[in-house]
Amino acid sequence: MRDGQRPTRVVVVVSHLGLGGAERQTLDLLRALRGSAWAPVGVVCLSDKSEAHGAAIQALGYPLSIVSRSRGFEVGRIVQLHRLLRAQAADVIHAINWFASGYAILARPRGARVISSIRNSHLPAGTLRRLMLPRLVRRSDGVLVNSERGRQFVRDACRVPSERIALVPNGIDVQRLQGGGAPGAVRQELGIPAAAPVVLYVGRNARVKNIPLLLGVVSSLLASAADVRFVLAGDGLGPDLVAGTPLAAERRLFCLGPRSDVPSLLGDATVLVLTSDNEGMPNVVLEALACRLPVVATDVGDIARMLPDTCGVLVPGDVGALSAALLQVIARAPAYRRAAGEYAVTIADTFSSQAMATRTVDLWRRVTQDVVQTATRLATPLDRVH
């Protein structure tokens, strides 16, 4: 809120509200800000894909506007978004990821400030987008990133000055995660014995997640460890994922597709696996650690800054290294889980949704007050984790 003036009016613009880490973070941000002076006055979704989070956003009391998409870049959508933002008297437009950031820059009303939230460290797909979107993001009044790797990427690939980049780590709802379903419910549902090790993957079938590598690890480990079970959950990870392959008949592999009971999945697993080629600060690693679950992951993004070696293993992105690391963690599962349980306290203190909301509002306030602190960034406990 600006001194002596009306409250600052923030509008959140998202490309879609489907399943994904950035979309989940948006919902958690809105929940944390509900009822505060900085609660956004509206949310605009640049797609008909407004689920799984659109209904939850409306239930929180936020007006949700949909700007439908019929094809790629559309001038008419810029005009429609501009009219919406002007009608909402937006002072700050908080745009989530590349696509929304580009549209927000082009559609912003006179005097409005744009914050681009870039939560990955790779350029968008498509030649035109690779050429145009970094240039548009450079015109933002501030860029929010969630990882040190992301900060370096935005600075180098988009040539955004360091003083306009703010590092705001992801936030998680620890109470929601630790208040999951009854222990053993997922194992009972799937018919998995209580003593069988369960390797869990939670994510989506996107190129950057390297699902072919994941399936290679599944095949390798099931061939060498008869008692291991794999559970895959997320958008695009249903039974069709392995249809027509030898894994389709594998009874120790469960391809569940989207699930709403992630805390229960984490609670019943032995180890979480992540096979991504590129990440910033993946939510699922924080969520696993908050649930006292050890992690085996490819060494990408800021995972090394999040994951102590007592709580998991980071390896290169190849089948052999990932399989060996999973067997190592499974063999010493009680010790890894005990260490993760101790570290869960740090996760709860450092990476809460409220902490994320506070740091985000700090950036909004700086931008609206025209405060530029040369070569500085928002202070964050992330730098003190190790």
pLDDT tens digits, 191-211: 999 999 999 999 989 888 999
pLDDT at 303 over 80: yes
Q: Are strands 253-257 and 229-235 parallel, antiparallel or unpaired?
A: parallel
What percent of the chain lies above the pLDDT cut of 70? 92
What is the model's pLDDT at position 238?
96
Q: Does the pLDDT value for residue 143 go beyond 90?
A: yes
Summarised one tens digit per residue, pLDDT across range 38-76 is: 999 999 999 888 887 889 999 999 999 999 876 666 788
Q: What is the pLDDT of residue 163?
A: 93
Binned at pLDDT 50, 70 and 90, residue 386 comes out as very low
User: Average of pLDDT values for 97-121?
Assistant: 93
What domains lie within the chain, and their CATH numbers? 10-171+352-384 (3.40.50.2000), 174-350 (3.40.50.2000)
Give CA–CA dist 367/106, Å, rounded. Answer: 18
> How much is the pLDDT for 381?
34
pLDDT at 182 over 50: yes
User: How far is it, in rounded angstroms, from Cα 104 to Cα 133?
Assistant: 11
Task: Average the pLDDT over each of 20-34, 132-146, 210-224, 267-281 and give the range with the smallest value.
Answer: 20-34
Q: What is the pTM of this model?
A: 0.81
**pLDDT number for residue 179:** 65
pLDDT digit string, tens, across residues 77-104: 899 999 999 999 999 999 999 999 999 9
Q: Provide the pLDDT for residue 385.
A: 35
Greatest C-alpha distance within the chain: 69
Q: 177-183: long-range contacts at Cβ-Cβ below 8 A with a sequence spacing of 24 or more? A: 177/262, 177/263, 177/266, 177/287, 177/290, 177/291, 178/263, 178/290, 178/291, 179/263, 180/261, 180/262, 180/263, 180/264, 180/266, 180/267, 180/291, 181/261, 181/263, 181/264, 181/267, 182/264, 183/267, 183/268
Sheet of 229-235, strands arranged across:
253-257, 229-235, 198-204, 271-274, 295-298, 312-315
Helix spans in the chain (H): 21-33, 54-59, 75-87, 97-107, 127-137, 148-157, 174-178, 185-190, 211-224, 262-268, 283-290, 303-306, 319-331, 333-350, 353-368
Report the sign of the C-alpha dihedral through residues 89, 94, 100, 106, in that order.
positive
Which pLDDT does position 367 carry in this prediction?
92
pLDDT class for 383, splitting at 50, 70, 90? Answer: very low
pLDDT classification of 275: cutoffs 50, 70, 90 = very high
Which helix (H) or strand (E) segment is 314 a member of?
strand 312-315
Residue 69 is predicted with a pLDDT of 73
More confidently predicted of 259 and 370: 259
Q: How many CB atoms lie within 10 A of CB 240?
A: 12
Query: Is residue 127 very low, low, confident or very high in pLDDT (cuts 50, 70, 90)?
Result: confident
Q: What confidence score (pLDDT) does residue 160 get? A: 94
Instruction: Categorize the per-residue pLDDT at 226 as very low, low, confident or very high, splitting at 50, 70 and 90.
Output: confident
Angle between helix 319-331 and helix 211-224 axes, rounded to 10 deg: 50
Give the pLDDT band (50/70/90) at residue 380: very low
Average per-residue pLDDT for the chain = 89
**Residue 382 confidence (pLDDT) above 90:** no
Band of pLDDT at residue 378, cut at 50, 70 and 90: very low
- Asked whether 33 and 353 are in contact (CB, 8 A), the reply is no
Which of 4, 86, 92, 7 shows the shortest CA–CA distance to 367? 92
Query: Has residue 116 got a pLDDT over 90?
Result: yes
User: Residues 251-261: what's their mean pLDDT?
Assistant: 94
